[in-house]
Amino acid sequence: MQVRGATALVTGASAGIGAAVAGLLAERGAAVLVHGRDAGRTAAVADGIGGRPIVADLATAEGVDALAAAAEAVDVLVLNAGAGHAGPFVEMPADRIEELLALDLTGAIRLTRVLLPGMLARGRGRLCFVSSIAGRTGVAGEAVYAAAKAGLDAFAESLRLELAGSGVGVSVVVPAVVDTGFFESRGRPYDRRSPRPLPARAVAAAILSAVERDRAEVFVPGWTRLAPTVRALAPAAFRRLSLRYGEEVRSR
């Protein structure tokens, strides 16, 4: 798909991966709608790239509907807004569970439900969902986040099949560890040596490539595709390795 001249909405574009992909889309000649929750950060990114800021809280149904109404006709929708939560599941407050699922899963599905009919009517469009390796592997201490991302993967895969031949492509980008404010806001810094955190622009480039070439799935970095492959082919070995990682999380 030609990004030049298209209207692109990037959710969670006030920081991190979303800000990087909004910048790349603007460089390629798209009209970019820069969504964020924080008004100041959203305006700063929009000003920097010549985009239009839209502020909405996507953990609420009202926020999703307000964003969809403000965005109108969108050709490229990057569903990137998201947050994590780190810590033992039994200590997770019930309202935090609801908030995380609303933002990371149902908010993206609901926004797609509102904006997709316009793409289908125009016979062209791209949906790109930013998932996580956590949703492909499971991670101790991040059960609800991993569940939300696994749900997003299944939704996107199903939609891709359903929309085949419609002119609307569906992609999933699966980052591993990216150097953004994500870890600070989830409540635990990233302190493992591998995989090394990548710059946000590496994921942004993968998103752009997925949109332009209608790629079903892109892992960033590419070698992390091995994790779900080993999980499928040698599940016992995979779980032993995961437990070792999990113990590190549980001991915090």
Ligand X SMILES: NC(=O)c1ccc[n+]([C@@H]2O[C@H](COP(=O)([O-])OP(=O)(O)OC[C@H]3O[C@@H](n4cnc5c(N)ncnc54)[C@H](OP(=O)(O)O)[C@@H]3O)[C@@H](O)[C@H]2O)c1
Catalytic residues: 145
Binding to ligand X by CB under 6 A, coded x per residue (else -) over 105-144, reads -------------------------x-x------------
If the CB atoms of residues 137 and 180 are measured against ligand X, the closer one turns out to be 180
- Shortest distance, position 58 Cβ to ligand X, whole Å: 4
Burial of 246 (0-12, 13-18, 19+ CB in 10 A): middle
Binding to ligand X by CB under 6 A, coded x per residue (else -) over 73-102, reads -------xxxx-------------------
- Quick check: 47 binds ligand X (CB under 6 A)? no
Burial of 179 (0-12, 13-18, 19+ CB in 10 A): middle
H/E element, 106 = none
- 33 vs 78: CA distance, rounded Å: 10
Residue type, 34: V
- Quick check: 37 binds ligand X (CB under 6 A)? yes
- Quick check: 38 binds ligand X (CB under 6 A)? yes
- Quick check: 181 binds ligand X (CB under 6 A)? yes
- Quick check: 188 binds ligand X (CB under 6 A)? no
The number of residues making up the chain comes to 252
Backbone φ, ψ for residue 70 (5° rounding): -75, -25
Cβ distance 207 to 78 under 8 Å?
yes
Q: Which residues of the chain form contacts with ligand X (CB under 6 A)?
A: 12, 14-18, 36-38, 41-42, 57-59, 80-83, 103, 130, 132, 175, 177-178, 180-182, 185
